[in-house]
Amino acid sequence: MNIDAIQENLRRFAEARDWNRFHSPKNMAMALIVEAAELLEHFQWRTEEESWRLSTHPEDYHAVREEIADVQIYLLRLADLLGIDLERAVLEKMDKNAEKYPVDLAKGNALKYDRLRK
C-alpha cells in the first residue's frame, strides 16, 4: 500500500467536494468507529467457525471487504489530518508490542502484558 499516494487521493477527494470543513480529527475518529461497528455487524451472532468461513458467502464477504476499506480510509485520513506518519507509527508500535510481549512469556496465551509473569 502506498500510504502517501492514498492520503493524497483522499485529500483531493475531500477538497473537490468541499468536505474539509467536515473533516476534523474528531469527526474522522467518530467515522472510523462507526465504520468499525459496521464491520463488526457482519460478525455479530456468527460462531467462531462461521467467521472463518465468511469467504464462502460471497455477498457477505464483499460487504466485509468494503467495511474494511472504509475503516482504513478513515484511519488514513485521520492520521493525515493529525500529521502522523502512519507507517512510522505502526512500526514503532510493533517494536513496543514486541517488548511488552516477549515470546518466552507470551507464546500460546492471550494474557494482557501486565499479567504476564516475569
Is 60 a residue that touches Mg ion (CB under 5 A)? no
**In contact, 76 and 10? CB cutoff 8 Å:** yes
Q: How far is the CB of 35 from Mg ion (least distance, A)?
A: 5
The torsion region of residue 9 among left (phi > 0), alpha (psi -120 to 50) and beta comes to alpha
70 touches Mg ion by CB under 5 A: yes
| String of DSSP letters for 11-38 | HHHHHHTT-TTT--HHHHHHHHHHHHHH
Compute the least distance from the CB of residue 32 to Mg ion, in Å. 11
Residue type, 20: N
Taking CB under 5 A as the binding criterion, the range among 13-21, 56-64, 66-74, 101-109 that sits at the site for Mg ion is: 66-74
Separation of alpha carbons 81 and 25, rounded Å:
6
Query: What track of x and - describes contact with Mg ion for positions 16 through 55 (by CB under 5 A)?
Result: -------------------x--x-----------------
CB closest to Mg ion, residue no: 70
Q: Can you give the binding site for Mg ion, defined by CB under 5 A? A: 35, 38, 70
